[in-house]
Structure 1
């Protein structure tokens, strides 16, 4: 079964004709004559797509858009919502499109449907929603502040690229002129930039953070536009940018192909400018939402592997990186070193100056380690005043030199003390273990710890070395 679809339409003939078409495409189709019935059905089972008649939009008691917003807000509903619009060229229909997209509908499709376009668009939107499903989980939603969720969206950044050869044709020129009027009719409505195609196909030269790219295809250049879109989707920097393909009088097969290949929207060149602006703003909102939630995911992952006080990696991350270094060591035959650091007499710092001063010592120590190590070296905070440094491709002599250099750098620090003219100075003891890759990770760390204890026992502010097992 391709998926579950709920058709909500007060006209029985419309419901039955559409059901026949979708059932032949192997969808599990259910029917409702209004929002009240649709709501009850959606409470009982999950639908992948809801196709709702536009006549249900302005019903004050049972508006389909009100139901959609409520369902998504209270249940995190990820169903694709498509509004079916009659009389697409009327002024009221233009206002309807903007209202539906602003409310969060995934698309507004005009009746009568071209069957292949309808099926391609449904599959296109289902794939798009499925790809972003994990980013809209409640756990990630809670990572966004109330202010972020309620703040008005900033102006959409739009990049326009003409796909064709030579001078733009008159229809394309007229389209650009007409588009700029509503796009820039109000200050900050859209930020529009015209870019060459090379900026879209070269990942290192992508346009400056666009939310939406308009690929305006000259006659005969539709396939090239789709090829450029595919290239954009394959590059890390542009894969999340929303792409709208614009063609002159596209046939149903061209529209269906655009959706099948992943266009986020595909519209004719003579689309009313205000309709296009509404579609751009809708796609820009999706792009911002995806980027924001990806940032929350990255931040959440980073928080799971970093120490909140110093910003260094934690013990959990250290274990995984040491496994990587061990594998590299076995593959290359080059040893690596593990250094266990401990601040000498740290309890006395806390007792005499307070825990705030103790935190300042730890953060200063972390900054010093960062400044004095290579980019590929590993630095972690593994305990209260304990740190771990791992040095890949390092022999004993180099590791000993590095350990003593770090020890001296920490000992030379002047840490300011509030209301005191005399700065605080601290020292560290270091345990050094050279690894050949054949020792289990836990034993590696224990070797470095035993060497650290020996440095402490020998008077502190020293580097002690443990031989690899």
Structure 2
């Protein structure tokens, strides 16, 4: 995972220490020694996350964060505040001015990397949504960003998962005055509980009796409508290794026990506000996308959209030295489906195929219908291992379950996939598509129903 990190601190020793830790993990690091310099850098260059010291002369970290979050140009940049202050009121103040998270000095390496990686993932998803809106129509997304100021974080719908009924009730009482809170004391029922519900946040205890809390989080994320549901873990100090693992798996945040009321309220507010903002962005993308860039049959973007978006994302990947993958898919023997069962069945297979592709790629990936029975997926910030995992998951989702074409009658369908990676500054959209197409042809020639990477 690569990203550009801005470190803001007026003490050079602190800057060098953080720079060394992050550079060792292959992050691109830039530095600023004052609040105003940090604001200038964020306004004039691409920054993925800001590590912001609180105690600085002239303009402290709280004021810097407040200004970053007030600007439409920098509002979406995650801010991780670093402070020697350890009072709950200081942490609450940081969250209230818009900080996405904080660390207390001396900074623990494990927590630092876990927090940075978690916020970088959030930034990547936000960037992708913004890029899609800009690609779909030649309008900016300022309306959605301005709407963030109007989004209320009150009246949220929250699920608490905790086998300790007394502890869960106490947490519910903390939040119940401003939110609707449900308590689940049987973690095995988590999937049933969230199915059909409209929760905006889940609070999961790490002290579940006879049940793995990380499995609860994983099960919640397997459902389509809760895949992006924010999750906060309530953890003891001894749970730190598992908390780090959870953050790597995509859990959004954690709070230490015993839970402090004001910090809990601030963290809950931050997550609900962020979730509502993400929903606002998605609605903006959906409502403003012109029909000219979507495929009527499958609902996926069409080739016209993909060609423009690929050019933009490739340029971004090359300028920031980031990975990117392109996956081309072709339904095996699709002509025989139309010939044997008619075009109505063929259309139904295409719609179901598109649905399975969307369900098995990641939130940042972009799926398009390229033409006929051929599809393509653009995967930003994706290396060989990640691309292979996504491609194999899509292949299995198609091959392992038949396509219903009549009551009690299922049709076996397979797909061949060719994958290529952005490899150099000389790559072009045309060369990437050509390599993916050559790999796809090899997959067909070598027996179909398989994933092949280009040999370039």
TM-score range, shorter chain: 0.5 to 0.7
Cα displacement string for residues 335-390 of structure 1 (whole angstroms, at most 9, x for unaligned residues): 669xxxxxxxxxxxxxxxxxxxxxxxxxxxxxxxxxxxxxxxxxxxxxxxxxxxxx
Q: For residues 187 and 214 of structure 2, what CA distance do their matches in structure 1 show?
A: 12
Q: Select the residue among 97, 102, 106 that pairs with 1:112.
A: 106
Q: Any idea what SS the aligned residue of 2:99 has? A: coil
Do 2:69 and 2:75's aligned partners in 1 also have CA atoms closer than 8 Å?
no
Could you say if the C-alpha distance between residues 85 and 207 of structure 1 is closer, same or farther in structure 2, counting changes exceeding 3 Å? farther
Q: In the alignment, which residue of structure 1 is the partner of 2:190? A: 200
Q: Any idea what SS the aligned residue of 1:208 has? A: coil
Larger Rg: 1
Do 1:117 and 1:255's aligned partners in 2 also have CA atoms closer than 8 Å?
no
* Structure 2 gap ranges (5+): 303-330, 346-404, 406-456
Do 1:35 and 1:62's aligned partners in 2 also have CA atoms closer than 8 Å?
no
Do 1:120 and 1:259's aligned partners in 2 also have CA atoms closer than 8 Å?
yes
Could you say if the C-alpha distance between residues 269 and 125 of structure 1 is closer, same or farther in structure 2, counting changes exceeding 3 Å? same
Do 1:35 and 1:67's aligned partners in 2 also have CA atoms closer than 8 Å?
no
Q: Select the residue among 80, 103, 108 that pairs with 1:82.
A: 80
Q: In the alignment, which residue of structure 2 is the partner of 1:182? A: 174
Q: Select the residue among 86, 96, 101 that pairs with 2:95.
A: 101
Do 1:101 and 1:279's aligned partners in 2 also have CA atoms closer than 8 Å?
yes
Q: For residues 87 and 113 of structure 1, what CA distance do their matches in structure 2 show?
A: 12
Deviation, 1:285, is 0.9
Q: For residues 215 and 62 of structure 2, what CA distance do their matches in structure 1 show?
A: 43
Could you say if the C-alpha distance between residues 62 and 259 of structure 1 is closer, same or farther in structure 2, counting changes exceeding 3 Å? closer
Q: What is the TM-score normalised by the length of structure 1?
A: 0.56
Q: For residues 78 and 290 of structure 1, what CA distance do their matches in structure 2 show?
A: 11
Q: Any idea what SS the aligned residue of 2:225 has? A: coil
Q: For residues 107 and 148 of structure 1, what CA distance do their matches in structure 2 show?
A: 18
Deviation, 1:62, is 8.8
Q: In the alignment, which residue of structure 2 is the partner of 1:243? A: 231
Asked if 1:266 corresponds to 2:254, the answer is yes
* Structure 1 gap ranges (5+): 307-312, 318-323, 338-392, 394-469
Do 1:83 and 1:108's aligned partners in 2 also have CA atoms closer than 8 Å?
yes
Do 1:158 and 1:191's aligned partners in 2 also have CA atoms closer than 8 Å?
yes
Q: For residues 305 and 216 of structure 1, what CA distance do their matches in structure 2 show?
A: 44
Q: For residues 145 and 50 of structure 1, what CA distance do their matches in structure 2 show?
A: 19
Question: Which aligned runs of 4 or more in structure 1 are off by greater than 6 angstroms?
Answer: 145-148
Do 1:258 and 1:266's aligned partners in 2 also have CA atoms closer than 8 Å?
no
Q: Any idea what SS the aligned residue of 1:244 has? A: strand
Cα displacement string for residues 38-95 of structure 1 (whole angstroms, at most 9, x for unaligned residues): 223334532222101122599479921233124x41x25543211113232x2xxx33
Asked if 1:228 corresponds to 2:226, the answer is no
Cα displacement string for residues 233-255 of structure 1 (whole angstroms, at most 9, x for unaligned residues): 22202111101111222344223
Q: In the alignment, which residue of structure 1 is the partner of 2:429? A: none
Could you say if the C-alpha distance between residues 332 and 298 of structure 1 is closer, same or farther in structure 2, counting changes exceeding 3 Å? farther
Q: Any idea what SS the aligned residue of 1:121 has? A: helix
Cα displacement string for residues 251-272 of structure 1 (whole angstroms, at most 9, x for unaligned residues): 4422321211111002222131
Q: In the alignment, which residue of structure 2 is the partner of 1:191? A: 180
Deviation, 1:192, is 0.9
Do 2:126 and 2:278's aligned partners in 1 also have CA atoms closer than 8 Å?
yes
Q: For residues 115 and 182 of structure 1, what CA distance do their matches in structure 2 show?
A: 32
Asked if 1:256 corresponds to 2:244, the answer is yes
Q: Any idea what SS the aligned residue of 1:218 has? A: coil
Asked if 1:212 corresponds to 2:201, the answer is yes
Q: For residues 40 and 115 of structure 2, what CA distance do their matches in structure 1 show?
A: 26
Cα displacement string for residues 174-193 of structure 1 (whole angstroms, at most 9, x for unaligned residues): x4354344323x4xx12111
Could you say if the C-alpha distance between residues 86 and 251 of structure 1 is closer, same or farther in structure 2, counting changes exceeding 3 Å? farther
Q: Any idea what SS the aligned residue of 1:133 has? A: helix
Do 1:140 and 1:293's aligned partners in 2 also have CA atoms closer than 8 Å?
no
Q: Select the residue among 270, 288, 295 that pairs with 1:282.
A: 270
Could you say if the C-alpha distance between residues 40 and 287 of structure 1 is closer, same or farther in structure 2, counting changes exceeding 3 Å? closer
Do 1:57 and 1:63's aligned partners in 2 also have CA atoms closer than 8 Å?
no
Do 1:200 and 1:207's aligned partners in 2 also have CA atoms closer than 8 Å?
no
Q: For residues 241 and 19 of structure 1, what CA distance do their matches in structure 2 show?
A: 32
Deviation, 1:131, is 1.8
Aligned length: 307
Within a 5 Å distance, the mapping from 1:134-153 to structure 2 comes to 134-137=128-131, 139=139, 141-142=141-142, 144=144, 150-153=150-153
Q: In the alignment, which residue of structure 2 is the partner of 1:334? A: 342
Within a 5 Å distance, the mapping from 1:383-462 to structure 2 comes to none
Do 1:117 and 1:253's aligned partners in 2 also have CA atoms closer than 8 Å?
no
CA RMSD after TM alignment: 3.8
Could you say if the C-alpha distance between residues 48 and 206 of structure 1 is closer, same or farther in structure 2, counting changes exceeding 3 Å? same
Q: What is the TM-score normalised by the length of structure 2?
A: 0.58
Q: For residues 62 and 257 of structure 2, what CA distance do their matches in structure 1 show?
A: 35
